[in-house]
Amino acid sequence: MLQLIKIKSLILISSVFFVLSNQAYSAGGTTYDLIKPGFSFEGPTGTFDRAQLRRGYQVYREVCASCHSMKQLSFRNLNQKGGPEYTEDDVKLFASDYTVIDGFDDYGDPVERTRILSDRFPNPYDSKEAAKASNNGAYPPDLSLITKARSGGYNYIYSLLQGYGKEIPEGVEISDTLSYNPWFPGNGIAMYQPLYEESVEYEDGTFASIEQMSADVTAFLAWSAEPEMEERKRLGFIVMSFLLIFVLLMFFTTTRLWRDVH
């Protein structure tokens, strides 16, 4: 009897988890599942695709950076192992496109210099208030950790970026200042459609479809949220192999030691 109750509660708990983890977004009767393209960095041995990260950075720099900061990133991160792995010279060139106020001169006036490797990514706005004022009162969130900060993770970001231009289902009201996007909670988002076909001209010649750019910038954001991912997986693999060898050794030692004991 007790056993049966236990099994029943187990089934109940797992179905609750199933419902919670199976993210579906509904709007006026239409249900949209997250689009899951299957990224190269998924799974226990998945790694980032360097070319994709570079394309993703290009999309961020040329499109998203005009509204969204990524304050956890410094330019030198673009050169580090496990990331887009640009050469140091490339990154110096990227950084030198931006300036930063660095101290004051003898008259108390701010001194501006171009950015260097150790500088962080620039913030498009001077303050939260300025950011809101430029975006109809909505705040464009910092994107450094966004793939970890939203339920649905990177697949949500990928879907969201492609969720524009869809017909508004009957019964759904979207205010004039918002765009309809089935994946955004509430379906009305203050970000206008950011990506259009060929919004960027890829340096590596890849055709810049909305789908391609969404995937590339999503991969870049997934990397920025966990720049040490490849190292973590590598270490995990070493630890697991060591444990396996250790268990095998212990097994043979024990059977041998107890061989003559009856």
Q: Which residues bind ligand HEC (CB under 6 A)?
A: 59, 63-64, 66-68, 135, 138, 140-141, 146, 150, 157, 160-161, 184, 189-191, 194-195, 217
Among residues 78 and 191, whose Cβ is nearest to ligand HEC?
191
Tokens standing for residue 67: 């509204």
Q: Which one, 141 or 234, has the nearer CB to ligand HEC?
A: 141
**Using an 8 Å Cβ cutoff, are 142 and 123 in contact?**
no
Choose between 77 and 179: whose C-beta lies nearer to ligand HEC: 179
Q: What is the C-alpha to C-alpha distance for residues 197 and 200, in angstroms, rounded to an integer?
A: 8
Which residue number, 100 or 190, has a Cβ lying nearer to ligand HEC? 190
> What residues contact 109, with CB distance under 8 A and at least 6 apart?
none
Burial pattern 45-55, b for ≥16 Cβ within 10 A else e, equals: eeebbeebbbb
Separation between Cα atoms, residue 230 and residue 236, nearest integer Å? 10
Minimum gap (Å) between residue 169 Cβ and ligand HEC: 19
Least Å from the CB of residue 23 to ligand HEC: 13
By beta-carbon proximity to ligand HEC, the closer residue of 63 and 168 is 63
The two tokens of residue 158 are: 């990928």
Shortest distance, CB of residue 18 to ligand HEC, whole angstroms? 23
Nearer to ligand HEC, 55 or 115 (CB): 55
Q: What is the DSSP string of 23-91?
A: -EEEETTEEEEPP----TT-STT----HHHHHHHHHHHHHTGGGT---TT-BGGGGGSTTTT---HHHH
Smallest gap from residue 69 Cβ to ligand HEC (A) = 11
Smallest distance, ligand HEC to C-beta of residue 149, A: 8
Smallest gap from Cβ 61 to ligand HEC, in A, equals 10
Minimum Å distance from CB 181 to ligand HEC? 9
- The C-alpha angle 57, 81, 60, rounded to 5 degrees, equals 10
User: Which amino acid, one-letter code, is at 237?
Assistant: F
Q: Which is nearer to ligand HEC, 79 or 159 (CB)?
A: 159
| Distance between CA atoms of residues 49 and 82, nearest Å | 10
